[in-house]
């Protein structure tokens, strides 16, 4: 087998990234995503592209936050692994797959090729997630009217609530942050993400019961690809009343009232209560995402 060449792209040869087939429909899922040519790399053998990867970050980020597009030709798993291993950025990798990919033999085989390459490169699975996309055809979820929603300008209040919410979280990324740095780190990472989003700070809201108790928070947001459910969280002492649905419904209405023509969202597949709330609110699963992290020490 001939030698492998790893090639970083720029504006002049960005077209090489389009040389591979796209059996998993990644291009359509990234229709609104902006990738920088210099954050794309390909692996070539005999001048043919056999693997590709695109790293992604926000418009003001000086380094990528993750790999969110990774493709490998059949039988070229080692080439894909080398492409990832030799990259200057060792960050989380997101693999977006069609919903129900495991039930389709063709999709399953294509996904397995990429999964094998990712594992050969030393990445470890963090979590599998459902990706949702609400559109007007889904119908607006009904507002139950049980909670009162008010903005809160003090970040310290949100930070305290995030600590309380994450003290009993099912979210894999939050659990990882807690393991590595405690509740303070998990809460601060969430707060930093909300500030990173280009949407207005005044959109953040706290939900209160009729008695005036704090029930939870919701963060309607825009990420660089458009409107999204930034965060839904109920404080532990008010769980069991279905308030997460109330928060999700309010978050959806909030975004639509401000012009959103779609709303993206995601939750861990193991978070059965939240997945159920998305279904109830009319959010269909449009993709599945596998999140990987580089192995410790890489």
Q: DSSP letters along 92-122, please?
A: EEEEEEETTGGGSHHHHHHHHHHHHHHHHTT
Does residue 63 lie in a domain region? Answer: yes
CB 73 within 8 A of CB 29: no
On whether both 209 and 164 belong to a single domain, the answer is yes
Residue 298: alpha-carbon gap to chain centroid: 22
Q: Both 276 and 141 in a single domain?
A: yes
Q: Phi and psi (nearest 5°) for 8?
A: -85, 135
Which domain-ending residue is among 121, 146, 166? 121
| CA distance between the termini of the chain | 28
Q: Give yes or no: residues 144 and 113 share one domain.
A: no
> Model confidence over 255-285: pLDDT tens digits?
999 999 999 999 999 999 999 999 999 999 9
Same domain, 154 and 216: yes
Q: 111 with 180, same domain?
A: no
**Do both 178 and 278 map to the same domain?**
yes
- Among the listed residues 22, 239, 262, the one whose alpha carbon sits nearest the alpha carbon of residue 131: 262
Residues 195, 155, single domain; the answer is yes
Among candidate residues 92, 121, 150, the one where a domain is terminated: 121
pLDDT of 31 over the 90 cut: no
pLDDT exceeds 70 at position 1: no
Count of domains for the chain: 2
Which residue did the predictor score with more confidence, 247 or 59? 247
Q: What is the pLDDT of residue 296?
A: 78
Per-residue pLDDT tens digits for 217-253: 999 999 999 999 999 999 999 999 999 999 999 999 9
Percent of the chain surpassing pLDDT 70: 99
Residue 208, domain member (yes or no): yes
181 and 78 in a common domain: no
Q: What is the pLDDT of residue 21?
A: 92
Whether residues 244 and 271 fall in one domain: yes
CATH for 241: 3.40.630.30
Let me know whether 44 and 84 are in one domain.
yes
- Asked if the structure places residue 127 within a domain, the reply is no
Residues 98 and 150 in one domain: no
Averaged pLDDT for residues 102-126: 97
pLDDT for 169? 95
Q: Is residue 298 part of a domain?
A: no
pTM exceeding the 0.85 threshold for the entire prediction: yes
Domain housing 146: 137-292
Tell me what the mean pLDDT of segment 54-62 comes to: 94
Q: What is the per-residue pLDDT for 215?
A: 98
Reduce the DSSP state of residue 180 to 3 states and report it: helix
Report yes or no on 130 lying in a domain.
Answer: no
Are 225 and 82 members of one domain? Answer: no
């Amino acid at each position: 087998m001939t030698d492998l060449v790893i090639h970083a792209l720029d504006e002049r040869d960005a077209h090489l990234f389009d040389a591979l087939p796209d059996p998993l429909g990644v291009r359509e899922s990234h229709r609104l995503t902006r990738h920088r040519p210099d954050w794309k790399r390909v692996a070539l053998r005999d001048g043919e592209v056999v693997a590709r990867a695109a790293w992604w970050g926000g418009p003001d980020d000086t380094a990528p936050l993750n790999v969110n597009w990774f493709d490998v030709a059949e039988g070229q798993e080692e080439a894909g692994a080398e492409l990832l291993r030799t990259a200057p950025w060792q960050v989380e990798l997101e693999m977006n797959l069609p919903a129900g990919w495991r039930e389709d033999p063709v999709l399953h085989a294509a996904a397995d090729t990429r999964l094998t390459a990712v594992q050969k490169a030393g990445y470890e699975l963090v979590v599998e997630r459902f990706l949702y996309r609400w559109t007007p055809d889904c119908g607006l979820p009904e507002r139950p009217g049980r909670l009162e929603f008010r903005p809160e300008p003090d970040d310290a209040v949100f930070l305290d609530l995030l600590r309380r919410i994450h003290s009993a979280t099912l979210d894999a990324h939050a659990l990882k942050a807690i393991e590595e740095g405690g509740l303070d780190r998990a809460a601060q990472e969430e707060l930093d993400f909300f500030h990173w989003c280009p949407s207005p700070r005044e959109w953040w809201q706290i939900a209160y019961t009729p008695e005036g108790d704090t029930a939870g928070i919701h963060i309607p947001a825009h990420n660089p690809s458009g409107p999204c459910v930034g965060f839904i969280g109920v404080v532990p002492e008010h769980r069991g009343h279905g308030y997460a649905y109330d928060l999700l419904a309010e978050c959806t209405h909030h975004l639509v009232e401000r012009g959103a023509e779609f709303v993206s969202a995601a939750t861990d597949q193991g978070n059965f209560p939240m997945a159920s709330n998305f279904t109830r609110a009319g959010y269909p699963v449009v993709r599945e995402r596998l999140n990987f992290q580089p192995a410790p020490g890489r």
